[in-house]
Structure 1
Amino acid sequence: MLQKVCKAILLLLLLFQNVVAQQPEKKLYKLSGVITDATGERLSEAFVFISPGEVGVLTNKQGRFSVKLEKGTYEVVCQYIGMAPLRETVILDNNKEVVLTLGQQNVSLRQVEITTNSIIDLNSVRMGSSHMDQKLLTRMPKLMGEADVLKAVSALPGVVNAGGGTSGFFVRGGSADQNLVLMDGAPLFNATHLFGFFSVYNSDVLKSFDLHRSGISATYGGRISSILDVKMQDGNTEKMKYEVGLTPVTAKLSMDGPISDKATVLVALRGAYPDYLLNLFPSENIKNSSGFFYDGNLKLKYKLSEKDNVSFSGYRSADGFKFPYDTTYHWTNTLGSLRWNHLFSDSFVGSATLVKSIYKNTVAGLAIGEEFKLNSGIDLSQAKIHFGFFGLKNHSVDFGGEVSYYEIQPGELVPSGTSNLNPRTLMHDKGYESALYLNDEVKLNEKLSFSLGVRYARFSKIGPSDIYIYAEGKPRDDRSITDTLHVGAGNVVQTYQGLEPRASFKYSLSNNASLKAGLSRTRQFIQLISNTAAITPVDIWKLSDRYIKPQVSDQVSVGYFYLQPDNVYELSWEVYYKRLYNQIDYKDGAVLLLNPALDADLLFGDGYAYGSEWLLKKNQGRLTGWLSATYSRSLRKIEGETEEETINEGKPYPSNYDKPVNLNIFANYQAWPKWTVSANFTYTTGRPITAADSWYRYHDQVFANYVGRNQQRMPDYHRLDVAFNHEPIIKKNAVYEWGISVYNLYSRKNAYSTLYQHYYGAPPGAFKLSIIGVPIPSVNVNVKF
């Protein structure tokens, strides 16, 4: 089907090209250029505004931009997050190439507004992508005073949140593990603190983030739903600067600046102290609980020469949470990415990157007679090489490759104290993933552009590994194991490979409107085994093997994009359809922890998702903001060879993250000269659940009777948050920023999960569990000096 759709779109493009070719064109000249910082690094997503003509474009990954204009004199204004705007006058009487170098922004210029986040790039073939910078993120209402990337992502089209207070998110019908979450190019396997109440990203040193949910370039791979690419700030090149921040639960300290004429450094530390808030709750269980987290960022950058620079980004975090008299949870993240950038020529750039990402988790039991430690984790080593070539007229070519090595510790049970538990250690899960990619963005003429790419992905599961052989015609379980095949260390257990074609098309209807379309295939060789909606510390990462095939997604999307000539309003509308293959669900009563035959408790099938997304944004005036609305469906179909391996008689059923209606409204209003008021309203359809409608008694035991998987829903979710932000105050070379937020303003008790309680003579009663059911006020204060 995908091939037929590609052929049809290519035929339409040829027809468009013929029509355009017959139209007379005015004499136009090409104005192109490169945007760099003071170290010579090229800046992607920099905003270039050209007048007269009011043309706005964003630079590509190589920091380049290109427009065609009539002969004349133009003012070129370039803006980038955290840097001073640059104005240049250009006389255009032939094709011209310029190089614009931006310097650090002086804090005294607080009247300057960086607008890159609020302008649609109609000339780009990209679709299904959203960009947000740190300035806008910090104006959004905050939970406990902490600006949160993952919660901001949930306010974008096609994205829904996992539940009240948590940071898990689902994109276009996919599960939480189908999102590749990056920090300066390094993947994160748990991007949350305190069970999802906060994210690992420190907003004080955040630069920007991009969410790609369709039309994804072949340079990205490894997940089938979305790519969340988060970039942290570099150290400034002028002087050492410091920042101190305080919220009701965190204290933060950061410093950045030059350490020589060629090197810069950024260090940021953050720690949380929520225990005093837990003591305010009336429940004794909550009062006796405790928690903490801390994290730190380190960013180094060194200019080797005019054509070379090296950068290192490091991150370390630790979390702990204790339930009274019962269980403690500890998990850590350790990330590092070392990158070398080289400029071969003005039209040829390259980079080489080494990545390390380690996630470790420990659950400790404290009950007398049941003391234990359960250890698990994942260790990723990765090497990547990327090249960008734009020496060919109207072409921008990206190509490269990467190789990754995974080692997963699925579970190690270590009894202690008076425990009568038996120790158990599961065999490590190991595998290699490699990929090669090529992507070419072509501009045929002023109206028609397209991007064609292909990615070849290969994965090999390696030993040591025990492969269970099951009896034919019987459900897979520990009773149907007939033999065990042992594969030695380093030997290949199973190999999967395939091509991932990518294509995006753009046709300009006018200077202010365009149509776009995208086609893509993506593969995923690692999956999260979890029975919860959001990612938690007790979940298990699992590599594809003989029984667990890679997840595959085919997506088709079409969109309309409009930007008013004066840039006040912008509108986008996208529709999409996805086919999902080798999706995972679970048998009734599945055992997920410390299960050596885990594949026997997993079920496999296909699914599909479709939806329509609208986004209306207002970019200028005292009132700015956006309205994001989505209608979507996400369904699965599991039909095995036996009744035990079939869900809902083989009929399609809603996935755990099927929330058809999703509405987000964000508004920011300049209420007084130095005060802005922002509000965020969220509404989503309730999450599907498997509910009981009756009960029965068997051998003096009461059992609930469930009718079909995910056939009921929890109550709809809605919430209003508000924030009051004061403009920066400058006193004696220090900048003071502060704000007030109220999370869940009207005390909505949104249900996060449902519980059942049996009373004799009546059906089981259903009760909802609300994580946050009261307004939560907070104050945040930051001082920069």
Structure 2
Amino acid sequence: MHRFASLLTLLLLFSFFYAEPAIGQERHYELSGTISSQSGEPMAGAYVLINPGNKTISTDERGRFSVSLPPGEYTLESQYLGMERVEQQVNLFRDTSVRLQMKSKATNLRQVEIVAKSSMDVQSTQMGSTYMDVKLLTKMPALLGEVDVIRSVSSLPGVVSAGEGTAGFYVRGGSADQNLVLLDDVPVFNSAHLFGFFSVYNPDVLKSYTLHRSGISARYGSRISSILDVQLRDGNEERPQYQAGISPISAKFSVDGPVSPKLTILAAGRAAYPTYLLRMFNSDNIRNSSGHFYDLNLKANYKLNENNTVSFSSYHSNDGFKFPFDTTYQWSNTLGNIKWTHVYGNSLSSTVTVAKSTYTNQIEGIATGDEFNMSSGIDFTQIKADLGYFGLERHAIDFGGGASYYTIEPGKLEPYGTSSLNPRELQIDKGTEYHAYLNDEVTLNPRWTVSLGLRHTYFVKRGPTDVYVFAEGRPRSETSITDTTHYGEGSKVHTYQGLEPRASVRFLLNDTRSLKASYSRTRQYLQLVTNTAAITPVDVWKLANTHIQPQIADQVAVGYFYVKPDNAYEFSWEVYYKWLQNQVDYKDGAVLLLNPALEAELLIGKGMAYGSEWLLKKNTGRTTGWLSLTYSRSMRQIDGETPEETINSGNWYPSNYDKPLNLNVFLNRQLHPKWTVSGNFNYTTGRPITASDSWYRYHGHIFANYVGRNQARMPDYHRLDASLNYEFEKRKRVAYTASFSVYNLYGRKNAYSTFFRHYYGRPPGAYKLAIIGVPIPSINLNARF
């Protein structure tokens, strides 16, 4: 790391003293600006066409752009899907900043008239990021009639799905809980509906999403693998619009539009009712099961004046599922935020946000003799301020800070009826995380741009809690506890802090090609304690404490980026390496549920991940789509003080998230102005498992013998999905669209998990469990009016 830091320092010094451009000797000036809607919402991914020169650049997630040009008179034309074009004349004879506002189109867009945008910006320093407009998302094949953000994310380079029927995903060798999943800047702690067959994101109300995998701005923190930033759209400002959709197991409705000249609103609801379909199965276990979910979105924007906008965004969901005869599950997400955006002028703007997110989970045992209610959850509150300053020549500065408050209920068990279980309640887990950051993007000359960022975090673990003291030289367990220290309500138990430097460099080969490099350090004070590979309703979040140190990741990445001048094709190639500290694994036979001495079951070690990612994307023509290919490895090393606290004799072994080869192909073909067809193919190396390599007899019973953790693999995963979309003639201001899709077209029985079972007369054998082993057709109908 020190060698890389030294090389980066030399590169930055060289960049600062680099002679004024090799692209001609004429003096250049900086043209920068922001693009927003009339309500003040930043237009991320908007295109700016600059003439003369026919130069195209796009805005970042805050609606900003910056480009270096020779002096002269220019025409700026801003374009964004669903918005009217905006033109502005600029006399560029000094560094100039502009502010453009876009207006919503009054007419509905035909769904087949999709203009795919580039998912990357060759001109910016940003790398390892993919932007997707929701209009393209609607063309992807659907499961059970619903397109899904999480499923589409898994088709991007460096990302693999956590498994069939789950909403989790792995990014560059990290676990599912190492991804910060946001909805309008508010964390979502469980993004799954119906155990992952749907996600919390209603596609009818989304604007776009951006996945950040490397080169992450200092503005973001709290997770060490990735940031999934999903944004809701604002209500349109022209007239009320309505949208409704129905499929065999779900229905939805949304409305958006102006309430007054200053106030717009967006509201939506969804519900799923799969129980009647479950009744059609022959299996008693399936036929006697039931499930449901509903979710609600509400967003309002109020424009106080030209410089002040207040917005409110909220989300609520409820899920329920019942397994026959023994267990019912119910979980809920409730989150929201209030934002105040103030523009001080062309040079300074600020956004103050107050956010709240709660997740609760309840499990009820209904089997006779084992009746119980068990609950857990997490409560998150945050206040922060983010500012942007553009008043300095060749600089774009972001800075801000905030505080986050965590309250975790790890578990409460309440028996009832004829149950012989004992009641149990674990201590509340509380903590506070403070952060401050500064990021400066410096345009040194037309070829070189450098982004330098620094984030500082300070975490306090607070009481009430009991801290156990374990005997030295012995494996940690409840029997090795020698003392207990009690901390009262609100007291400071333990603190952690550290700097998180971020840096990225872009070297522009020409207007369409660039080389980029980045380094980032990230810290994570919250993690999921689970014995599964994906996020499930029964998992428990855990804060860093005296025995669990925060996770730390250092990542370096380099890449080559190319976009054709007409945006028809784009290509990127990135190579990365990650160093991981304080990675958690578990003892053999670890008891994680309702364990007051959970630290005794955890093993702490280090990790590494590296890989190479390729993306080829076609954006124009009747056939569009992309091909992404990733080769990566994710390894762990647990070398404890005792043999019981060591895995695989202290040698490196594949992590649970190690899937070396990942191939995704997505194609969308416009057959006719009214017909489009699309397909998505995914191939992934099987997940590592701990397999039995022998068996033995003990007191007349046969047992499987496991040697070496994660030394075998499940079968490789592959699946093909397809969909056919049709747009009806518009009648009486109502536009109808229909789609027919088939998930798992050729009926692949992909293994979700593997287990070993002994049948009399033969040694234990391996058996795989497939969640979805047949093609699943679905149809849905949508109306917009």
Q: Shorter-chain TM-score: which interval?
A: over 0.9
Which structure 2 residues correspond to residues 135-146 of structure 1 after superposition, within 5 A?
135-146=135-146
Which structure 2 residues correspond to residues 525-544 of structure 1 after superposition, within 5 A?
525-544=525-544
Decide whether the 8 Å contact of 1:35 with 1:46 is kept in 2.
yes
Decide whether the 8 Å contact of 2:184 with 2:232 is kept in 1.
yes
Decide whether the 8 Å contact of 1:308 with 1:341 is kept in 2.
yes
Q: Does 1:5 align with 2:4?
A: yes
Shift of 1:22: 7.0
Where 1:151 maps in the other structure, the secondary structure is helix
Query: Per the alignment, do residues 25 and 116 of structure 1 end up closer, same or farther by CA in structure 2, a change over 3 Å counting?
Result: farther
**CA–CA distance in 2 between the matches of 1:436 and 1:550?**
18
Decide whether the 8 Å contact of 1:56 with 1:121 is kept in 2.
no
Q: Does 1:547 align with 2:547?
A: yes
Residue by residue, what CA displacement relative to the aligned partner does 1:189-216 show, whole Å, maximum 9, x if unpaired?
A: 1011011111000000011111001000
Query: What does residue 59 of structure 1 align with?
Result: 59
Shift of 1:28: 4.4
- The gaps in structure 2 that reach 5 residues or longer are none
**CA–CA distance in 2 between the matches of 1:525 and 1:109?**
44
Decide whether the 8 Å contact of 2:294 with 2:318 is kept in 1.
yes
**CA–CA distance in 2 between the matches of 1:252 and 1:295?**
9
Where 1:204 maps in the other structure, the secondary structure is helix
Where 2:683 maps in the other structure, the secondary structure is strand
Which structure 2 residues correspond to residues 286-435 of structure 1 after superposition, within 5 A?
286-435=286-435
Residue by residue, what CA displacement relative to the aligned partner does 1:33-67 show, whole Å, maximum 9, x if unpaired?
A: 33221223432332212344332211234433233
Query: What does residue 20 of structure 2 align with?
Result: 21
**CA–CA distance in 1 between the matches of 2:213 and 2:354?**
25
Query: Per the alignment, do residues 80 and 728 of structure 1 end up closer, same or farther by CA in structure 2, a change over 3 Å counting?
Result: farther
- The gaps in structure 1 that reach 5 residues or longer are none
**CA–CA distance in 1 between the matches of 2:106 and 2:218?**
38
Where 1:125 maps in the other structure, the secondary structure is coil
Shift of 1:695: 2.1
Paired AA for residue 496 in structure 2: Y
TM-score (norm 1): 0.97
Residue by residue, what CA displacement relative to the aligned partner does 1:337-383 show, whole Å, maximum 9, x if unpaired?
A: 11111111211001111111000000100100100011000011111
**CA–CA distance in 2 between the matches of 1:356 and 1:22?**
48
Query: What does residue 277 of structure 1 align with?
Result: 277
Shift of 1:116: 6.4
**CA–CA distance in 1 between the matches of 2:342 and 2:91?**
31
Query: What does residue 79 of structure 1 align with?
Result: 79
**CA–CA distance in 2 between the matches of 1:599 and 1:119?**
42
Where 1:136 maps in the other structure, the secondary structure is helix
Shift of 1:73: 6.2
Decide whether the 8 Å contact of 1:81 with 1:207 is kept in 2.
no
Query: What does residue 682 of structure 1 align with?
Result: 682
Where 2:10 maps in the other structure, the secondary structure is helix
Where 1:123 maps in the other structure, the secondary structure is coil
Where 2:403 maps in the other structure, the secondary structure is strand
Decide whether the 8 Å contact of 2:112 with 2:674 is kept in 1.
no
Query: Per the alignment, do residues 429 and 109 of structure 1 end up closer, same or farther by CA in structure 2, a change over 3 Å counting?
Result: closer
Number of residue pairs matched by the alignment:
784
Paired AA for residue 304 in structure 1: L
Q: Does 1:699 align with 2:699?
A: yes
Where 1:746 maps in the other structure, the secondary structure is coil
Query: Per the alignment, do residues 18 and 396 of structure 1 end up closer, same or farther by CA in structure 2, a change over 3 Å counting?
Result: closer
Query: What does residue 212 of structure 1 align with?
Result: 212
**CA–CA distance in 2 between the matches of 1:591 and 1:62?**
45
Shift of 1:555: 0.4
Query: Per the alignment, do residues 97 and 486 of structure 1 end up closer, same or farther by CA in structure 2, a change over 3 Å counting?
Result: closer
Paired AA for residue 549 in structure 2: K
**CA–CA distance in 1 between the matches of 2:757 and 2:63?**
60
Query: Per the alignment, do residues 410 and 701 of structure 1 end up closer, same or farther by CA in structure 2, a change over 3 Å counting?
Result: farther
Query: Per the alignment, do residues 497 and 32 of structure 1 end up closer, same or farther by CA in structure 2, a change over 3 Å counting?
Result: closer
Paired AA for residue 592 in structure 1: L
Q: 187-196 vs 757-766, which deviates more?
A: 757-766
**CA–CA distance in 2 between the matches of 1:69 and 1:400?**
30
Shift of 1:734: 1.2
Shift of 1:419: 0.9
Query: Per the alignment, do residues 611 and 119 of structure 1 end up closer, same or farther by CA in structure 2, a change over 3 Å counting?
Result: closer
Residue by residue, what CA displacement relative to the aligned partner does 1:272-323 show, whole Å, maximum 9, x if unpaired?
A: 0111221232211011100000000010111112211110100000000000
Query: Per the alignment, do residues 113 and 443 of structure 1 end up closer, same or farther by CA in structure 2, a change over 3 Å counting?
Result: farther
Query: What does residue 247 of structure 1 align with?
Result: 247
Decide whether the 8 Å contact of 1:48 with 1:58 is kept in 2.
yes
Paired AA for residue 353 in structure 1: T
Query: What does residue 767 of structure 2 align with?
Result: 767
Shift of 1:730: 1.8
Which structure 2 residues correspond to residues 222-237 of structure 1 after superposition, within 5 A?
222-237=222-237
Where 1:150 maps in the other structure, the secondary structure is helix
Query: What does residue 150 of structure 2 align with?
Result: 150
Query: Per the alignment, do residues 569 and 126 of structure 1 end up closer, same or farther by CA in structure 2, a change over 3 Å counting?
Result: same
Residue by residue, what CA displacement relative to the aligned partner does 1:624-672 show, whole Å, maximum 9, x if unpaired?
A: 1110000000000001011100000000000001000000001111122
Decide whether the 8 Å contact of 2:235 with 2:258 is kept in 1.
yes
Shift of 1:333: 0.3
Shift of 1:757: 1.6
Decide whether the 8 Å contact of 2:431 with 2:459 is kept in 1.
yes
**CA–CA distance in 1 between the matches of 2:417 and 2:242?**
47
**CA–CA distance in 2 between the matches of 1:22 and 1:280?**
70
Decide whether the 8 Å contact of 1:455 with 1:501 is kept in 2.
yes
Residue by residue, what CA displacement relative to the aligned partner does 1:156-181 show, whole Å, maximum 9, x if unpaired?
A: 00000011232210000000000000
**CA–CA distance in 2 between the matches of 1:260 and 1:108?**
21
Where 2:730 maps in the other structure, the secondary structure is strand
Q: Does 1:754 align with 2:748?
A: no
**CA–CA distance in 2 between the matches of 1:200 and 1:744?**
22
Q: 692-701 vs 418-427, which deviates more?
A: 692-701
Paired AA for residue 694 in structure 1: S
Shift of 1:702: 3.4
Paired AA for residue 759 in structure 2: Y
Query: What does residue 176 of structure 1 align with?
Result: 176
**CA–CA distance in 1 between the matches of 2:115 and 2:581?**
40
Residue by residue, what CA displacement relative to the aligned partner does 1:95-134 show, whole Å, maximum 9, x if unpaired?
A: 6554332111233453895646325311100000001111
**CA–CA distance in 1 between the matches of 2:295 and 2:95?**
50
Shift of 1:760: 3.1
